[in-house]
Structure 1
């Protein structure tokens, strides 16, 4: 098992604890990412790196969750996260997006959602 859920833009302890409880049955850990680490790439964050001391905060502009190493659990994990109150855009870490920063991924998720809504 294993894997990590990167959680961005959340600071309410009850929701964070509920998210942690949701990923635990999948053998995953929860990593809450703060604004100072949003300048790192998703790959760096998934590897457990943190921002250097004194790094300036980077505005994310919303909430987001990124599933790292949890690809085969997506179908079961997404409903568990929604039940835990994680109602934000979600993505899976891929070879394509691992070099992106969190703000770049969130912007792409918003573009994709807007495109889907225009098709409806």
Structure 2
């Protein structure tokens, strides 16, 4: 008999959007029956697993938060197809979210801000490679 592992309920963690863009993204994600959580500056130091509602994670002590430079969207509990559908829908709206990722077993223990910083580094490296490969 095969064990069936239940996928966690889909939740999107979002930071750094204008109210209008947040509403647009929220509508897209709610169409996929996902919860949507706006991560305020007061929770940037929280572990991603805490924000996503995973068991075993506790809210941390209050800490000073440094604002993030870019908007962030994290997908938790989404199937690969659901992520693709959400990204396709986002492209059609014109809402720009430079940092996007899926919550993994590795990054769920990171703080939201640490994960955003890592995504920013990866994005910069990709952009640098693109400029080397396609100089203007």
Structural RMSD (CA): 2.4
* Counterpart in the other structure of 2:74: 66
Is 1:77 matched up with 2:83?
no
- Contact map agreement 1:68 1:92 (CA 8 A) in 2: yes
| Higher-Rg member (1/2) | 2
With 30-39 and 73-82 compared, the bigger mean Cα shift is at 73-82
Q: Which runs of 5+ in 2 are unaligned?
A: 1-6, 131-136
Closer/same/farther in 2, CA of residues 9 and 50 from structure 1, 3 Å limit: farther
Q: Which runs of 5+ in 1 are unaligned?
A: none
In the aligned structure 2, how far is the partner of 1:27 from the partner of 1:4? 9
TM-score, normalisation: structure 2: 0.74
In the aligned structure 2, how far is the partner of 1:97 from the partner of 1:19? 23
Closer/same/farther in 2, CA of residues 115 and 84 from structure 1, 3 Å limit: closer
Deviations 1:11-40 (A, max 9, x none): x32222111111012110110011111111
The count of residues paired between Structure 1 and Structure 2 equals: 118
TM-score, normalisation: structure 1: 0.83
